[in-house]
Amino acid sequence: MLPKTDATKGLSVRVRLILSLAAVVLVGWQGAAIAQQMDRQALIERFREARANGTLGHGGLRDLVRGQGFENGQRAGRMRGKGLGERGQQQVDPSVWEKVDRRVDVAYGSGPLQKLDVYVPKSKSAVKMPILVFLHGGGWRMGDKKQQGAKGPLYAQNGIIFVNANYGLAPQVVHPQQVLDVAKAIKYAVDHAPEWGGDPERIFLMGHSAGAQLVDLVATNHRFLQQVGVKVTSIKGVISLDTASLDLLKRTNESSFEGQHVGAMIEQAFGKDPEMLKDGSPTLNINKGSYYPPFLMFCGERRRSCLEQHREFARQLKGVGVKVAVKPVALSHRDINLASGNSTTEIFKESKAFIESGRF
């Protein structure tokens, strides 16, 4: 049985028991061996987050157990569908490296997590290529660019330079340092665009969950890009994947279980000061007369708070003449992210078309 750590104290006895037995009962005869290797703390965190945001899915704990990472490089469960590998992303064909160069753990700052990976097509086009900077999710406190590695070669094969960035995590790194890390990663991409064959004036941003909140924020609160010397007009578009934290003041006052759970994450990363929460809220940093890029936003259609926040954000942006497309989708929080790295999905196709043309 799982020990009663701080992570499990808030769970009922029944849930703790289910988590303890999940690997054996739900995975089958291999469950006992898997249970020895499973990062139980991560499973608990994923269960609580999925339960909080309403994205646990029909598979319940089965999906979490099968989708959980394992030690020693063992493969996690597969997402349903042909050609999908670890964590549900499309498998990377080894032959792709004949077409794509990758540079891993490139430092864009001196911090331990100020690292990024770059995926560049080997075949340079006559036209400078757009650059897509991606940020992972994880409640501002977890996650790693390694979990998104399959996206890089996919976008690069389609003529888009892909920059997969880490950033400092709470509680060690908090606002405004987290979004400043994002700005510094963008600055690195702008500065190195010429050597990659990229266009420093065609930077697109994409993020999932907390990463989506950060790209939305860096594109609306201009002081962070200005602080590192990046022109806000260099950002030509933002693709936001399922964040419900566009107005942190409103989010932290929600009485729902999801609101309370995410509110604790926000408090850890942004604090309680209303001025600091306002400074970290994309919706609350939209002002008439300022430049904002177009936003292509996807959110789970069943997440009421997510939809409300997106619609208010879109209303504010449209009010100052900015193009915004909010697209509710019948996918879970996790699967929206996976779809952005799967060439067969509408999310990928629409994102690719947006990056290529700057329109939707």
CA 31 to each of CA 8, 40, 65, 74, 355: distance values in angstroms, whole numbers, following the listed order = 21, 13, 10, 14, 43
Q: Is 144 helix (H, G, I), strand (E, B) or coil?
A: coil
Amino acid occupying residue 215:
V
Q: Where are the domains of the chain?
A: 13-69, 94-357
Specify the pLDDT at position 45.
Answer: 58
Q: Rounded to an integer, what distance in angstroms lies between the CA atom of residue 176 and that of residue 215?
A: 13
Specify the pLDDT at position 10.
Answer: 52
Q: How many residues does the chain have?
A: 360
Specify the pLDDT at position 21.
Answer: 54
Q: Rounded to an integer, what distance in angstroms lies between the CA atom of residue 161 and that of residue 211?
A: 19
Specify the pLDDT at position 90.
Answer: 61
Specify the pLDDT at position 43.
Answer: 59
User: What residues have CB less than 8 Å from 223, skipping those under 6 apart?
Assistant: none
**CATH number for the domain running over 94-357:** 3.40.50.1820
The radius of gyration of the chain's CA atoms, rounded to the nearest angstrom, is: 20
Tens-digit pLDDT profile for the chain (360 aa)? 444 444 445 555 555 555 555 544 444 434 434 334 444 555 555 565 554 444 454 455 555 544 433 222 323 333 333 344 444 556 788 899 999 999 999 999 999 999 999 999 998 788 999 999 999 999 999 999 999 989 999 999 999 999 999 999 999 999 999 999 999 999 999 999 999 999 999 999 999 999 999 999 999 999 999 999 999 999 999 999 999 999 999 999 988 777 788 999 999 999 999 999 999 999 999 999 999 999 999 999 999 999 999 999 999 999 999 999 999 999 999 999 999 999 999 999 999 999 999 999
Specify the pLDDT at position 149.
Answer: 87
Q: In the chain, what is the straight-line distance between the N-terminal and C-terminal CA atoms, in Å?
A: 51
Give the distance, in angstroms, between the CA of residue 223 and the centroid of all CA atoms in the same chain. 22
Specify the pLDDT at position 307.
Answer: 95
